[in-house]
Amino acid sequence: MERLSSLKFTLGSLSALMIWLGLGVFIGQPKLLAASFFDMNRMLILDWLLGPAWAQPLAPLWFLGLCLGVGVMLLNLGFCTFTRLLPRLRAGNALKGWLLTLVHLVMLVVLLGHGAEMAMGHKQEELRMLPGQTVELPEGLTLSLESVLFVSDPSVINLSYRKARWTWTSTNFKPRQNWAKVVIRRGDAIVTQGELRILEPMKIEGLRLTLAGFYSPKDEKPARVGVRLALVKNPLTTLFFVAYGLWVVLYAALAVVTWRGGPSNGSARQAQAVAV
């Protein structure tokens, strides 16, 4: 247990994790496994692992290795908190000790929240729809695309991913003038309806519906304009952001207390001996 909470173990685990992440950057190139990682980002991680992930086994194996590395760091963080920090709360600067302990505890919550997000809720990105189409949503809801208004330059449709990210947020694109009218129903009853715009998501009973962009089927003439939607629901989203914000505040407070406290007693004694 003492070894698992040591600084040497922390540095070794962190170094191995950084190397593993570097490997992920390499295999995630467009000519290698980019398509598989793209699928991973479109759905819940658990759904990806139980479905299309194994079409390219190297991608899920790398991801499981990443989870193992993060799990080791989580174990190190937990042992460090409970074997080194908690017993020292009564010694030295009590405020600094509590802040350091709380920083570790809240980070544990953040990491556990990340893990829970892999399997909880619902995630569906790159959902493509044309006017008149209807798709089923979780909890008995249906989504209908009534109409699309696209008045910008049609050349921005069907751009590559990198170019599209810039175009949809640049000053040349007017998001308020381009929209999609959607209707959400449960059975025959309308739950909500409205105009969906880029950067203006719609919330429906915990579901967040986002307009990610527009597209036009290349095999249709005359061409029609459809939409690319993202549908996400996670019951831990609020808790996660609150915990992450609390961690930032605690870390900032710890930095201030450490800075104002000056050098430690050991450092001060060493400085005095050198002066003598």
Give 99-153 pLDDT, tens digit per residue: 888 888 888 888 777 777 777 888 888 889 999 999 988 888 899 999 998 887 6
Q: Are 76 and 5 in contact (CB under 8 A)?
A: yes
Clarify whether residues 91 and 219 are in a common domain.
no
Clarify whether residues 113 and 189 are in a common domain.
no
Instruction: Report the predicted TM-score, pTM, of the whole model to 2 decimal places.
Output: 0.69
Clarify whether residues 132 and 69 are in a common domain.
no
- The region of weakest confidence among 102-106, 186-190, 220-224, 241-245 is 220-224
> What's the mean pLDDT when you consider all of the chain?
80
Clarify whether residues 71 and 57 are in a common domain.
yes
Clarify whether residues 83 and 131 are in a common domain.
no
190 falls within a domain? yes
Total domains, the chain:
2
E strand or H helix at 17: helix 7-27
Clarify whether residues 113 and 243 are in a common domain.
yes
Expressed as residue numbers, the domain containing 187 is 124-233
Mean pLDDT of 224-251: 85
Would you state the pLDDT for residue 152?
73
Beta-carbon count within 10 A of 208 CB: 14
Clarify whether residues 113 and 145 are in a common domain.
no
Clarify whether residues 192 and 227 are in a common domain.
yes
- For 267, the token pair is 């450092």
Clarify whether residues 216 and 248 are in a common domain.
no
